[in-house]
Chain A
């Protein structure tokens, strides 16, 4: 508790786009509830913040920290460690922190190839193939930039996390509901879910909250959405052959994209109980393919031109393919310690 007796609140972005911050600002007047019930100690986008002040606080003294963004470089990791130490409740907020999100697709590429794409592009004039240097001796003195890690990691792969709040970004009404719940819990009027829970989302799938009509699905082909001359506004998109990720994706958004005629791209992450998002989605797609002949099935699957992107669009960094979470954390700790010295 701070001098004004209010619990402390922090929000931070690591490797993120800023959309999570915009989503929080879009709760409009509820921001005032946050202000009334919390002492906002750290939130770079809306208030003055000082890293050293956070460092000086007793460990565990921030009641609630919403951490968004993935861990792409050395700075992101250092902030994750610091805020973990200082926070009582650390929430992985948004898809990047929970599961890596779109930037997690970079884990299919080496840092060298990422640098090649950026620094030897068609418009780049770089005959000497200059690359960013973590330490560089300018004529006037030494300059440093943070080290780019080999892969993007989720928050949980770097530090222990108390709750997960999915979505890209989390929908504002869900953010409002979570804030209400935390305030009530602090007042003793409600109980927080057990640590490790997913909060601010539903317990079923996007299909369950999608109002489109569903029949028995039997797909003879997958179609690219631009190739359809007419998207039936009422019929299930998957039944129309559009590879909609609704069956594997957690509910909570209100099926916004399918309602707008666009397939669910999976930004709310795996549905309750799903360990690996892609495994669930592959199984869902496989169960609706209407074919017995292997060649026929092969032809239908060829309708998905980018399997890894289709099945792991938001989830690659958190997939079973990157299962050694504890090992990553250990490696990270060692690296962190080395950097400190």
Chain B
């Protein structure tokens, strides 16, 4: 059968590999997105003391070590059945909010945003952060660097280090913050709120003001009707650090919420022999293959998924943007939008970029809320565990999806078993489906639309902000591709490259 290999040049580098097979007529028969690496954390964490998990598992991913640090700390709290004091939880969430600002900023300006700001048809060489700076002004570049610096400053103040934080332990933290540090953190947070508002305005002016871009967002190639999951607080507002995980169906029906320890009733994982990564799906719906729809257990866990799964945002400015997001996109799709949020749902994967900016504003507002909380400088930042350690689950929302750590220990708190479902892995099936759809839209009856194939596949990837650092090691958004097109006899027709030369 004729095949097209799309190798991130990285066929030899472990970044992932796509195989497209054509049928006899020349249409897409199937596509395979392979993840070529495994490091084995679930095995070698066994035998380790549970309090080390926040500093061991953050080595799963250097892009989002904060997420693993937090999920591990929460799982370790649960193992000891200890509830950290309020100040500890607030400090962890403050660190986490600053991390979100840093991470979402990097994605929008350096990775995902250039497609929009520069336009999807701009030369590859211009579709990067430098292109954005040239178009919007040098000021933007220095603001982006400032946002990253401020975020890392807060991460280091609370977490002890800029990369791989070290201060969360079972029951809370090893340290608190001083009043002087709090003052600085508040100042930086207020700046971050303005920066997030500026970023939304930029998106509004450049993207939403351009019909071609809006049409692209609403286009069918980038639409998938799947389930969505995301963490919400008691008021069904998006929350990154704590709460229950809300599950919403493709038709907008909220089918339930699960507490972290109930995750095994909701999430299951499918195995394929041609890849090292598993495919999570909704257990109650079942694995039906790589297909859309309410009968397929495939779900998505991204900024878009979190907005879909929640009723609203917890902070005022982000809520305004949330309402505008649904008013714009749901109306555009001709569906009913209600303020109760029961039927609102957006399936357009490219809208994830906008959703990410709504979350950026929420994270910045939450940063200020927590920095101005009277308890935040409390010296009550740790509770000594008093119960026998057993088993526990910790869940946070990593920027790239719901992150679940599940630990079992012996009576000394030494791990006997570990189960991890990491951010991007949630989206492995939807990403695979997006690849297939992009390929199908460009390859019809033997006619291969070579122009744009790479770009469209790359844009399908970027909406998810995939970070296979957690599973392998490629940074989000970077997807060097090399497409080799052969005819049915195996003769080379054409080689296309992007991010390769």
Using a CB–CB cutoff of 8 Å, the interface residues on chain A facing chain B are: 12-23, 26, 28, 44-45, 48-53, 69, 72-73, 75-76, 78-79, 101-103, 105-106, 108-109, 113-119, 121-126, 130-133, 136, 138-141, 143, 145-146, 148, 152, 168-169, 172, 224-229, 231, 233, 256-257, 259-262, 265, 267, 305-306, 308-309, 313
Q: Tell which of B59, B274, B419, B469 touches A133, judged by Cβ atoms closer than 8 Å.
A: B274
Tell me, yes or no, whether B26 is within 8 Å of chain A by CB. Answer: no
Q: Interface with A: B38-46, B247-255, B306-314, B433-441, which one? A: B38-46
Most A C-beta atoms less than 10 A away, residue of B12, B59, B161, B267: B59
A20 to B161, CA, bound (A): 14
Q: Give the contacts of B457-474 with A (CB-CB under 8 A).
A: 467, 469, 473-474
Q: B478 near A117 (CB under 8 angstroms)?
A: no
A18 to B68, CA, bound (A): 14
Q: B9 near A260 (CB under 8 angstroms)?
A: no
Q: B1 near A136 (CB under 8 angstroms)?
A: no
Tell me, yes or no, whether B270 is within 8 Å of chain A by CB. Answer: yes
> For residue A305, which residues in chain B have a CB less than 8 angstroms away from its CB?
49, 412-414
| 1/0 contact string of B335-370 vs chain A (CB within 8 Å) | 000000000000000000000000000000000000
Q: B61 near A18 (CB under 8 angstroms)?
A: yes
Closest to B161 in A: A256
Q: A72 near B37 (CB under 8 angstroms)?
A: yes
Q: B278 near A21 (CB under 8 angstroms)?
A: no
Q: A106 near B39 (CB under 8 angstroms)?
A: yes
Closest to A45 in B: B475
Q: A19 near B65 (CB under 8 angstroms)?
A: yes
A183 to B267, CA, bound (A): 52
Q: Tell which of B160, B173, B270, B414 touches A256, judged by Cβ atoms closer than 8 Å.
A: B160
Q: B274 near A261 (CB under 8 angstroms)?
A: no
Q: B273 near A136 (CB under 8 angstroms)?
A: yes
Q: Give the contacts of B255-303 with A (CB-CB under 8 A).
A: 263-264, 267-276, 278, 280, 283, 287
Closest to A307 in B: B47
Tell me, yes or no, whether B405 is within 8 Å of chain A by CB. Answer: no
Q: Given A18-B473, A172-B162, are A73 and B37 neighbors across the interface (CB < 8 Å)?
A: yes
A148 to B472, CA, bound (A): 13
Q: Tell which of A14, A50, A265, A313 touches B501, judged by Cβ atoms closer than 8 Å.
A: A50
Q: Given A109-B44, A226-B385, are A169 and B62 neighbors across the interface (CB < 8 Å)?
A: yes
Q: A118 near B278 (CB under 8 angstroms)?
A: yes
Chain B, interface size category, equals 35 or more
> For residue A233, which residues in chain B have a CB less than 8 angstroms away from its CB?
175
Q: Interface with A: B13-21, B182-190, B205-213, B394-402, which one? A: B13-21
Q: Tell which of B3, B46, B76 touches A141, judged by Cβ atoms closer than 8 Å.
A: B3
Q: Give the contacts of B126-166 with A (CB-CB under 8 A).
A: 145, 149, 152, 159-164, 166
Q: A136 near B480 (CB under 8 angstroms)?
A: no
Q: Given A49-B9, A146-B37, A257-B160, are A124 and B174 neighbors across the interface (CB < 8 Å)?
A: no
Closest to B476 in A: A18
> For residue A72, which residues in chain B have a CB less than 8 angstroms away from its CB?
37-39
Q: Tell which of A102, A143, A224, A259 touches B413, judged by Cβ atoms closer than 8 Å.
A: A224
Q: A125 near B287 (CB under 8 angstroms)?
A: yes
Tell me, yes or no, whether B222 is within 8 Å of chain A by CB. Answer: no
If A44-B478, A118-B278 are given as contacts, then 13 extra A-B residue pairs at C-beta distance below 8 Å, sorted by A number, are: A17-B61, A20-B62, A121-B419, A123-B264, A125-B283, A130-B271, A133-B274, A140-B30, A141-B19, A145-B34, A261-B167, A262-B174, A309-B49
Query: In the complex, how many angstroms separate the beta carbon of B218 from the nearest chain A beta carbon?
Result: 31
Q: A44 near B19 (CB under 8 angstroms)?
A: no
| 1/0 contact string of B401-424 vs chain A (CB within 8 Å) | 000001000001110011101000
Q: A146 near B3 (CB under 8 angstroms)?
A: no
> For residue A172, which residues in chain B have a CB less than 8 angstroms away from its CB?
162
Q: Tell which of A13, A75, A123, A169 touches B12, judged by Cβ atoms closer than 8 Å.
A: A75
Most A C-beta atoms less than 10 A away, residue of B62, B276, B278: B62
Q: A226 near B278 (CB under 8 angstroms)?
A: no
Most A C-beta atoms less than 10 A away, residue of B166, B175, B382: B166
Q: Tell which of B61, B160, B163, B264 touches A23, judged by Cβ atoms closer than 8 Å.
A: B163
Q: B152 near A26 (CB under 8 angstroms)?
A: yes
Q: A51 near B13 (CB under 8 angstroms)?
A: yes
Tell me, yes or no, whether B236 is within 8 Å of chain A by CB. Answer: no
Closest to A146 in B: B36
| 1/0 contact string of B469-501 vs chain A (CB within 8 Å) | 100011100101010000000000000010111
29 residue pairs of the A-B complex, CB under 8 angstroms, read: A14-B473, A15-B37, A18-B473, A19-B63, A19-B163, A22-B163, A23-B163, A49-B480, A50-B9, A78-B12, A101-B59, A103-B41, A114-B40, A122-B419, A123-B419, A124-B269, A125-B287, A132-B273, A133-B274, A140-B21, A141-B3, A145-B36, A145-B275, A229-B382, A262-B55, A265-B52, A306-B49, A306-B414, A313-B56
Query: In the complex, how many angstroms separate the beta carbon of A111 from the nearest chain B beta carbon?
Result: 8
Q: B1 near A225 (CB under 8 angstroms)?
A: no
Q: B473 near A308 (CB under 8 angstroms)?
A: no
Query: In the complex, how many angstroms separate the beta carbon of A185 from the nearest chain B beta carbon?
Result: 27
Q: B44 near A105 (CB under 8 angstroms)?
A: yes
Tell me, yes or no, whether B29 is within 8 Å of chain A by CB. Answer: yes
> For residue B34, which residues in chain A have a CB less than 8 angstroms away from its CB?
143, 145
Query: In the complex, how many angstroms separate the beta carbon of B175 from the nearest chain A beta carbon?
Result: 4
A322 to B246, CA, bound (A): 48
> For residue A261, which residues in chain B have a CB less than 8 angstroms away from its CB?
160, 167, 173-175
Shortest 5 CB-CB contacts between residues of A and residues of B: A19-B62, A260-B160, A261-B174, A140-B21, A117-B43
> For residue B80, which residues in chain A have a CB less than 8 angstroms away from its CB?
226
A307 to B433, CA, bound (A): 46
> For residue B419, which residues in chain A have a CB less than 8 angstroms away from its CB?
121-123
A301 to B271, CA, bound (A): 42
> For residue A125, which residues in chain B have a CB less than 8 angstroms away from its CB?
268-270, 283, 287
Q: A44 near B15 (CB under 8 angstroms)?
A: yes
A49 to B275, CA, bound (A): 24
Closest to A143 in B: B274
Q: B160 near A124 (CB under 8 angstroms)?
A: no
Q: B42 near A117 (CB under 8 angstroms)?
A: yes
> For residue B42, which residues in chain A have a CB less than 8 angstroms away from its CB?
117-118, 121
Query: In the complex, how many angstroms separate the beta carbon of B283 from the nearest chain A beta carbon?
Result: 8
Q: Given A118-B38, A143-B32, are A109 and B51 neighbors across the interface (CB < 8 Å)?
A: no
A313 to B39, CA, bound (A): 15
